[in-house]
Structures are given as C-alpha cells and as structure tokens.
Amino acid sequence: MAALFESLLALPWPVTAILAALFFVATLILLYPDRAYGTRSRSDIPLAQENKPLIGAMAAMAQGIDFRLERLLEQVRRQGEGKPYRMTLYNPMFGPMDMIVISDVQDVETVLRDPYTFVKGGLLTSLLTDFLGQGIFTSDGERWHAQRKTASHVFNVKNFRNFNGDFLHEVGYLIKHLEAARDAGAVVDLQDLLLRCTLDSFGRLAMGSDFGCITQPGSVKEGRYALPTVEFMEAFDYVNGTVAVRAMQPFWQLQERLNGTTNKIKACQKIMSEFADKVITDKRRKMEKGETIGEDGKSTDGRHADMLDYFMRTTNFDGGVPDDHELRDVCMNLIIAGRDTTAQTLTWVFYMLSSHPEVEAKCREEINRVFGKDGQPTYEKIKELKYLTATFNETLRLHANVPFNTPTCTKQTTLAGTGTTVYPGDIIQYSPWVMGRLQSIWGPDAEEFRPERWLDDGGSVKKENTFKWPVFKAGPRICLGMNMATQEAVTFMAQILRTYRLELVNEDDPSKWGKYDVDPAKRQGRYSSALTLGLKGTVDFKVHLVQ
C-alpha cells in the first residue's frame, strides 16, 4: 500500500488529481448506488427505477417536464396503485431531497388532516416567494391560520347570492364576444376569454377593483377573434409559468440570470406591485375618511366589502397591522386562487364536452328544463343544475387544477393507510390528477368521462370523500372558495350552453402538446407549465348557434 501511495505521488499532479477525483466519485457511487447523494438508505419503501446513483431522479424529472403528469401516472401504476415509493433528488441549490410518492386515500388523509406536521416547507417557499410572497398558499402555522380566518368572512351563503350578479355580468361580456366571433366566422381562444372573465370578477370580489380584461373590444385578424393584451394579465401569467418549473431545474437561479428571466420577472413584479399598491392606497384613503364595514358586510358607501377590506381592517398573525407588502402578497394569492382555477377548469369542461356530445346534450336538456325558454339564471335556479354540477366535478376529477402537492414532514409520523414511516424533512408528493385516474379509487371506468358517477339514484349530487377527491384539498386547509368556484363555473356553463355549441379545432398543432404523435390517442401533455393546470397554447373553438 505504501509503495502504491509513493507511486501515485510520483505521477504528474494533473494525473494525480484526476485519479483522486475518480476515486472520490467511485466511493460516492458505492455509498449511493441507487439514490441521490445525501439521502437515507431505506429497505421498507421501494425506489422508483428513475433513481440513478448520486443524482437520483433529477435528470428524469427534467427530461419529462412537458408530460410530467402522464409520467407520474405510469410510475404509480408500475409500482402498484396505492403503494408508496421513493424519488430521491440532489439539487445543488437545496441539497438532498427524499420524496415519498403516495396515492393511498388513507395516506393522503393522514397528510391533509395535519397541516402542522405536514407543512408547505422551505423548498416551496423559496421557489414561489417572488411570486406569492408570504400569502395563504405559501405560509404555515399561525400566519396561515390568521389569513384563512380573515378570508373566511367573504364566503357565506348571503354573499353567494351577491356573487351571482357578478358572474352574470362577466359571462354577459363573454357571450357578446362569442357572438362577435360567430358572426365573423372566426375561431376564438376560449381559455383566454374565461381567464379575462374570472380575473375581472375576482378582482372585484378580492380587491374591489376591475382589471377591465373582458370589456376590451375584440377584433378579427387572420381568422382569429382576439382581444387586446392586458399588461397585468401578461405579467401575472409569465411569473406563474416561470416559477412552476423551477423545482425541475437544478440551476434555475443561474439559468434565470443568464437567459434574462430574472430581469423579466422583476419587470413583471413591478407591474403587479404597482397595480396592487394603487388599490391599497385608494382603500387607505377611504379608511382615513371614516369608511367602515357593518355587520351586514357592507361598507358605509353602500358597496359590499371585498376580501382586501377585511385584511386591511384586521391584525396579522403577530398582532400587528398588515403593511403594504403583506397586503400585496394577499392580492396575488387571492388572484391565483379565484382566477386561474375556475377559468382553467371551465376550459377543460368545454374541451371534454367537445368529444362527449352525449354529455353536452344532457347538460343542455337540464338547462332548458330548469330555466325554460327565457328564464333568468337566478341563484336558486343555478343550484338546481345538478347534472351541470356533476359535469364540473367530473372534469375536476380528471383534470385537477392543482395537479401536485408536496408538503414537507416536520416530525416522525406513520401514514394510516400503508403504515409507512415518514421522517422529518421527507417530502410527501400526492397528485389529485393521478388519483382521479386510479381504478383502485374510482373503479374500472376511472379514465372514462362519466358525470353520472356524481349523481345518486334521486338525481342529487353526491358528496364524495374529499380525501378521495382532494381537488380542493381537504381537512383544515380545504379551499374556502370551493362552493363559490362551483357556483361560478355552473353559471358560465349554463349561459354558454343554452346559446352556443362550441366546436374544438386546431388540436393537431404539435406546439400544444408536450409529447406529440400523429395518433391523437398517444399524445401527452396538453397542459402548460404553471402552478395550476391550464391548457398549453390557445384552445380554439368555432362558435355555432344552438338550433
């Protein structure tokens, strides 16, 4: 051994350095032959085959980012539905990460019932902080609890009746744009129109301010009906799409600096902050003039109080008064909660209806029966649309708007369904998108689009186990606005379907797919890279009048 060591020292130093590096790497591979550097060895949970020595599954995740959900579904089925498995990662920015992928309903329930053991965690916060700050989607503990309590003031039955007028106002503009597109014989991007509607309606609900997105005049160019761009909307969508893919990019901070993304994000932040600052400043002036909110939820000027009103009139989690930066975070979180989720799911509704005419016919029959020929879509009438509600729920089952959740464990615990031990620092990943397609949860027809599964024998909408269907989350962090989102969606569906039939076109464009094939059945990744499940590219429809 001594002679070998002396021989190595006699070699030129570059050769010695190379040999030493190779020895070091070989040693690490021996220590981590099947998983990422720094992660623990476990025999009780299988590793997915994507794990490689030292780097774990990072390369596989980055390569499959454009069809990440189908890839995850394939993994779950390969490992066995409901059975946990591990994905280990080594990210130079965050170090080693041990991820346990779960799909058992009871395991998911264990996680969602305890938001203090399973938290958002530092990883998620660091990825999203320049977009959502310390708002309700990125915060934990008392900060989260205080924000949730304040937001809850808006979501009551009395306000739901008021929401109906706002929703009809927005969908009225959308109907006019569909009419204009039909008259011109042009195609129209339905997702763009819906995102404009929900941004305007939720802007009023959350901040008492209208973005003016859907009220813009439309025009036809090269056979396409479109509305002018809105600066805030473009900025918001750019940052949303950028931060969503960071976890898949080992050197995202460096990449963003080199390719100009960092400067673009700063410019977008400036646009969003200026809008939020203006809204906050205007509200502070009203408060200084003595405006108050009564027990009926109305301000002294007669308008209904919005969410920001409540946040500005309450103390934050540590007893202090929220500053403008905190209020800006509130605005961004409320917008992504109320705007993207409903509009994108509604787009998926019409996307699914385009290939299921029998479902569309049943929806239209129910609308005509409930409303009559010229009946008004009142709050009470909207509640009678059971089949439309079932269609919305079924769409969410197959196209969950928040497709991934990745909480971090803070103390050792055991998952109730499979008995899996989870250690502090472990990341749990569950996917409502994947769960919606598992036969072990939904039966042999899990991948079929069948709204009837949501109706009981009397035609009423079933109340499913939210841990089986965690599209609005479940437990203490269940979405406060889930009933409002359903009400808004059904209102839009009814008003569009009673007047128009939408024909989906231009789906053979490869740029709209993460993985394109000439055979439509083999295409994957029709969704965009964002925190929520929007469709990639334009979603083009021809508009036809219902006969």
Binding residues are 479
Q: With beta carbons less than 8 A apart as the criterion, state whether 525 and 67 touch.
A: yes
Sequence-distant (≥ 6) Cβ neighbours of residue 485 within 8 angstroms: 338, 341, 342, 345, 472, 479
DSSP conformation letters of 529-544: SSSS-PBSS--EEEEE
Residue 405, beta-bridge partner list: 430
Residues in the chain: 547
Q: Are 394 and 450 in contact (CB under 8 A)?
A: yes
Q: Is 197 exposed, middle or buried (0-12, 13-18, 19+ CB in 10 A)?
A: buried
SS3 194: helix
Task: Quote the DSSP letter at residue 408.
Answer: E
Element (H, E) at 85: strand 85-91
How many Cα atoms occupy the beta-carbon half-sphere of 73 within 13 Å?
20
At 61, list the tokens. Answer: 């995740």
**How far is it, in rounded angstroms, from Cα 435 to Cα 117?**
22
Using CA atoms, how far apart are residues 338 and 124, in angstroms rounded to an integer? 20
Residues 410, 454: Cα–Cα separation, whole Å:
36
Triad 153, 159, 165: Cα angle to 5°: 145
d(CA 348, CA 174): 17
CB atoms within 10 A of CB 34: 15
Q: Which CA distances in Å does 35 have to 52, 63, 84, 89, 180?
A: 6, 18, 16, 8, 57
Eight-class DSSP state of 221:
E
Amino acid letter for position 255: Q
Task: Provide the annotated binding site for heme.
Answer: 479
